[in-house]
């Protein structure tokens, strides 16, 4: 049994509810019933429909980016950085292009973090440079070089016309042009509309999607330190 909601460009009434049931049937919900209908503007109605579907789910055929590293405590992350690098690990973060939505990047970087979990500024062995919103790619590259960044974290929320994909590809290309492979920072992109399996296509090392926590990002950074070969120290 499933419940779904949608809006139709029809006034509230029996004809509109019939159209909602017709749409539900075409989507494979049968039998279905309208459990809620509310006018939301001139000639539009919001519907909630409940019913049964007969489609099967095959988990074995689901393609997702599995987490290939363990989640570490802040103490273990700090120990990995201190033991392997013997200096602080530098993280530069920003929202690039015209994206002004800093909630995501701030949740990962700022010490207050999110949902009771501290951000990367809380980790003693990480040095965080948060550039904020609407940062041109050229400026991000310049700051990353000046700070000798180990990792660059980019957040993208605006997705109209695939702006998030274009911006990340442009960022990746700029870093690959500006840095030799052995000196290039780790490139990480995140946002609610990213497909985490697209890292290779976008030219970054890792993509984090909706619901990512600071601890997941910190653990990934520690994992790359532990497994890296040939990076600077």
Active site residues: 112
Question: Among 128, 109, 87, 124, which residue's Cα sits nearest to residue 232?
Answer: 87
Q: Considering only the C-alpha atoms of the chain, give the largest distance between any 2 of them, rounded to a whole number of Å.
A: 71
Tokens of 5: 């909601």
Residue 120 near residue 214, CB atoms below 8 Å: yes
Integer Cα distance of 228 and 232 in angstroms: 10
Tokens linked to 108:
């990962």
Burial of 15 (C-beta count, 10 Å sphere; 0-12/13-18/19+): exposed
Write the Ramachandran bin of 2: left for phi over 0, alpha for psi from -120 to 50, otherwise beta. beta
Burial class (CB in 10 A: 0-12, 13-18, 19+), 4: middle
User: Residue 17 CA to chain centroid, in angstroms?
Assistant: 37
- 3-state class percentages of the chain: helix first, strand second, coil last, to nearest 5: 40, 25, 35
Omega of the bond leading into 31 within 30 degrees of 0 (cis)? yes
């Amino acid at each position: 049994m499933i419940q779904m909601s949608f809006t139709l460009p029809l006034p509230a009434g029996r004809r509109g509810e019939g159209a909602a049931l017709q749409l539900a049937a075409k989507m494979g919900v049968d039998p279905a019933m309208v459990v809620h209908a509310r006018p939301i503007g001139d000639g539009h109605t919001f519907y909630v429909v409940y019913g049964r579907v007969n489609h099967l789910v095959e988990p074995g055929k689901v393609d997702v980016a599995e987490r290939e590293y363990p989640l570490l405590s802040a103490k273990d992350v700090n120990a990995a950085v201190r033991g392997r690098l013997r200096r602080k690990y530098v993280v530069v973060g920003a929202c690039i292009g015209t994206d002004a939505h800093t909630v995501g990047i701030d949740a990962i970087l700022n010490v207050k973090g999110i949902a009771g979990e501290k951000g990367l500024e809380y980790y003693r062995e990480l040095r965080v440079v948060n550039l904020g919103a609407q940062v041109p790619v050229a400026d991000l590259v310049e700051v990353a070089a000046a700070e000798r960044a180990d990792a660059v974290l980019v957040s993208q929320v605006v997705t109209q016309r695939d702006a998030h994909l274009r911006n990340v590809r442009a960022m990746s290309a700029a870093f690959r042009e500006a840095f030799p492979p052995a000196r290039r920072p780790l490139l990480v992109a995140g946002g609610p509309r990213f497909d985490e399996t697209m890292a290779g296509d976008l030219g970054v090392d890792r993509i984090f999607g909706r619901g990512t926590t600071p601890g997941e990002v910190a653990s990934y950074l520690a994992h790359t330190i532990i497994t890296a070969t040939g990076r600077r120290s």
